[in-house]
Structure 1
C-alpha cells in the first residue's frame, strides 16, 4: 500500500501586526494562494488542507484548490498557540474523519510566496532516502557569523555577545542556519509524539537566502514585496 502524504496549511484569521496577513493581496493574489499552488503542483500530497477558524480564509482557500474539511477550534486559534497543537488536531481529525492517519505530513506556512513545488518534491525525497530521520525542515544560512552578534548593555552601549570570539577568523566559525519559515515535512507519528521537529531527528533543506523572507512585520512585508517583484522580473527576462 502506498504511503499517504497530506499537506496542512495553518491559516488562522487573526493577525495583529499585519491584519489579515494570510489572505492579503501579494503579487496579484491572496498570500495563501502561493502556498496552496506550490503544494498542489508538487504532486507530493494526496490532499492539501487548510486549517483555519475564519470563513473568508476558507472561501479563498477553496477557490485556489485547497480543502477545508473542518473548522479549527477557538482554543487553538489564538496568537499564542504554537504550531504543534494545530497539526495534532488536524492529524486526529484525519484519523477519525478523514480516511485514516497519513504516513507523512507536510506543514506548509501560509506566508511562503517564495516556496517552489520543486523544493517540496526534493525535501520529501530526501526524507524518504533517510528512514532513520523523522523530519526535514526548510532552513537558510545566516548572512554573517552569529558568533559576531552584538547587543546592548544596561547603559545602552553596544557589546559583542561572545567577546571571546571577536578575533576568530570567519572561516573558523561554524555555519549556522535559521528556520526559513516555509515548510516542515515529517512522519505523522513523530508530529503526534513530539513538540517540535527539532525534538527529533531532523534534516535541513537549505534554501538560498534570496528566496527566504520572514513576514511578521510591515517592514518584512515591504521587503518581501520588493524581493518578489525582483524575482518575477528576473524570471520574465
Structure 2
C-alpha cells in the first residue's frame, strides 16, 4: 500500500502572523506535523507545500522528504485548500515517479494530534472501504438544543428544530465539531470530487485536547499550555 502525506502551509496569516514558523516549545509550528507523520510509519513520503521559502527551509530541517513551491494563486487569503492539496500531490507524484493509494493531509496548525490518530484515521479509510475520512471532536453545543439562528425578521430559533424538544443537550443527537486536523482520501475521491462530504465519507473522532486548531492568538496560547502538559513540563 503506497501512501503519501501532504502538509500545506501558507506564508501569510491574518489571525496569527507567521504562525507556521512561530516557535512552539522551541520548534517551529510546522515541525510537529512533519514529526507526527514520520512517527506514524505509514508514508512513502512526507511532502510540504508552501509559497514561503522560510517555511520550506524549516520543513527541510525538520525532516520533510519533498518540498513543493505552491503557486501564488493557490496561496491567497481566499484560495481554497483542496486545490493546493491536489497540486502538492500531483507535483509529488511527478517528482517521485509513482501514484499512491492513500493520500493524507495534515493541517500544520493542529499540532496536538498524535501519530496514533493518523494511523487510526488511515485504518478507518482502508478497512471500511470509505472514499475519504475527516476528523472532528464531540461538539460542545448542539444545533438541536443551544445553537440558534436569527431570521431576517429578527426572530430567533434553533438551527435544527427537533420534532420533540429536548430537556437536556445530552439527549439530542450526537454532533461533532470538525477540527481540520487530518484528511484522508482514496485517489479517485481526492481528484474526482470538489467536496469533502461524499456519500461514503467517514468520521474519525478525536478528543478535544488533541483537536485545537490555531486560528487566533488565544488558540496559540491555549495550545502552548496543553502541549506543556502533554510534554510533562
Q: What TM-score results when the alignment is normalised by the length of structure 2?
A: 0.89
Q: CA deviation at 1:153?
A: 7.3
Residue aligning to 1:24: 22
Matches within 5 A, 1:29-68: 29-68=27-66
C-alpha distance 89-169 of structure 1, shift in aligned 2 (>3 A):
same
Aligned equivalents of 2:135, 2:161: Cα separation in 1 = 31
Q: Kindly provide the CA deviation profile for residues 11-43 of structure 1, in whole angstroms up to 9, marking residues without a partner as x.
A: 111112211111111122111111011000000
Residue aligning to 2:158: 161
Provide the secondary structure at the position in 2 that maps to 1:6: strand
Q: Given the alignment, which residue of 131, 134, 155 partners 1:134?
A: 131
Q: What TM-score results when the alignment is normalised by the length of structure 1?
A: 0.88
Gapped regions of structure 2 (runs ≥ 5)? none
C-alpha distance 175-113 of structure 1, shift in aligned 2 (>3 A):
same
Task: Report how many residues are paired.
Answer: 230
Aligned equivalents of 2:107, 2:220: Cα separation in 1 = 15
Provide the secondary structure at the position in 2 that maps to 1:86: helix
Residue aligning to 1:72: 70
Residue aligning to 1:87: 85
Provide the secondary structure at the position in 1 that maps to 2:100: coil
Matches within 5 A, 1:202-217: 202-217=201-216
Provide the secondary structure at the position in 1 that maps to 2:135: strand
In terms of fraction of residues, the more helix-rich structure is 1
Q: CA deviation at 1:160?
A: 4.4
C-alpha distance 225-152 of structure 1, shift in aligned 2 (>3 A):
farther
Gapped regions of structure 1 (runs ≥ 5)? none
Cα RMSD over matched residues? 2.3
Aligned equivalents of 1:127, 1:104: Cα separation in 2 = 9
- Which segment drifts farther, 145-154 or 86-95? 145-154
